[in-house]
Structure 1
Amino acid sequence: MPRPEVWDCHVHLDPSIGGDPLDGPWWNGRPPSALFGLLDTAGVTGVTDLDGGWGEQILRERLDRFGRSDRYRCFGGVAWDKWAAEGNRFAERSAHRLRRQVARGARGLKISKALGLTVVDDRSELVPVDDSRLDPIWRAAGDLGVPVFIHTADPPQFFEPSPPTREAIPVLDSHPEWRVDPSAGLSRDVLFEQLCALVRRHRRTRFVAAHLGNVGDDLERLDAALSEHCNLGVDTSARFEWLGQSVDAARRLLIKHSDRVLFGSDYPLSERLYRTLFRLFESRDTFTLDGTYTMTGAASAVDGLGLPGEVLERLYAGNHHRLVGRGP
Structure 2
Amino acid sequence: MTAETPHAAWRRDQPVIDMHTHIDPERLEEAIELMDRNGLEAMVDISAYTGEAFDEFVEATAEYPGRFGVFGGFEFEDFGEDGWLERELDRMDDAVAAGAVGFKIHKRMGLVYTDPDGSTVRVDDERLAPLFGRASELDVPIAFHTADPKAFFEPLEPENERWAELSENPDWWWGDREEHPYDWWQLIRQLETVIERHPETTFLGVHWGCAAEEVGYVADVMRENPNYIVDVSARLGEIGRHEAEFVREIFLEFQDRILFGTDLGVRDSLMLGAPQGFDPTHEQAEEFYDAHWRYFETDREGIAHPTPIQGDWTVDAIDLPRAVLEKFYVENAQRYLGV
User: Fold conserved (TM > 0.5)?
Assistant: yes
Say whether the 8 Å CA contact 2:303–2:317 is kept in structure 1: no
* Fraction of identical pairs, as percent: 31
Matched, 1:293 2:303: no
Normalised TM-score (structure 2): 0.85
- Are the equivalent residues in 1 in contact too, given 2:140–2:337 (CA < 8 A)? yes
Q: Shift of the alpha carbon at 1:114?
A: 0.7
Residue of structure 2 aligned with 1:172, choices 166, 171, 176: 166
Residue of structure 2 equivalent to 1:12? 22
Aligned to 1:211: 207
Quote the Cα distance in structure 2 between the aligned partners of 1:317 and 1:302.
Answer: 24
Deviations 1:28-47 (A, max 9, x none): 323x4432222111011101
SS at match of 1:109: strand
Structure 1 consecutive aligned stretches of length 4 or more whose deviation exceeds 3 Å? none
How far apart are the structure 1 equivalents of 2:304 and 2:210?
A: 19
Q: 2:175 aligns with which of 163, 181, 203?
A: 181
User: Given the alignment of the two structures, is residue 77 of structure 1 paired with residue 73 of structure 2, yes or no?
Assistant: yes
2:251 is the counterpart of 1:254:
yes
Name 1:18's counterpart in structure 2: none
Query: 1:316, CA displacement in angstroms?
Result: 0.7
Give the C-alpha shift of residue 287 in structure 1.
Answer: 4.1
* Distance of 1:12 and 1:67 partners within structure 2: 17
Contact 2:237–2:310 (8 Å) recurs in 1: no
Q: How does 1:49-64 map to 2 (within 5 A)?
A: 49-51=45-47, 53-64=48-59
- Alignment partners' CA distance in 1, 2:302 and 2:22: 27
- Residue 74 of structure 1 aligns to a residue whose secondary structure is strand
* Aligned counterpart, 2:148: 154
Question: Residue 67 of structure 1 aligns with which residue?
Answer: 62
Segments of 5+ residues of structure 1 without an aligned counterpart are 15-27
- Name the SS for the 2:101 alignment partner: coil
Structure 2: which 5+ runs fail to align? 1-6, 265-270, 273-284
- CA deviations over 1:263-290 (Å, ceiling 9, x no partner): 1100336322211111111011124426
2:257 maps to 1:240: no
SS in 2 for 1:152: coil
Q: Indicate the structure with greater helix content.
A: 1
Cα pair 1:288 1:299 within 8 Å, conserved: no
SS at the partner of 2:91?
helix
Amino acid at match of 1:67: A
TM-score w.r.t. structure 1 length? 0.88
Number of equivalences: 307
Decide which of 217, 223, 226 is 1:221's aligned counterpart.
Answer: 217
Q: Distance in 2 between matches of 1:248 and 1:260?
A: 18
Separation in 2, partners of 1:131, 1:168 = 30
Partners of 1:124 and 1:165 lie apart in 2 by 33
Task: Compute the displacement of 1:217 (Å).
Answer: 1.7
Q: CA deviation at 1:168?
A: 4.9
Q: Tell me, what secondary structure is at the counterpart of 1:259? A: coil
Letter in 2 for 1:98: M
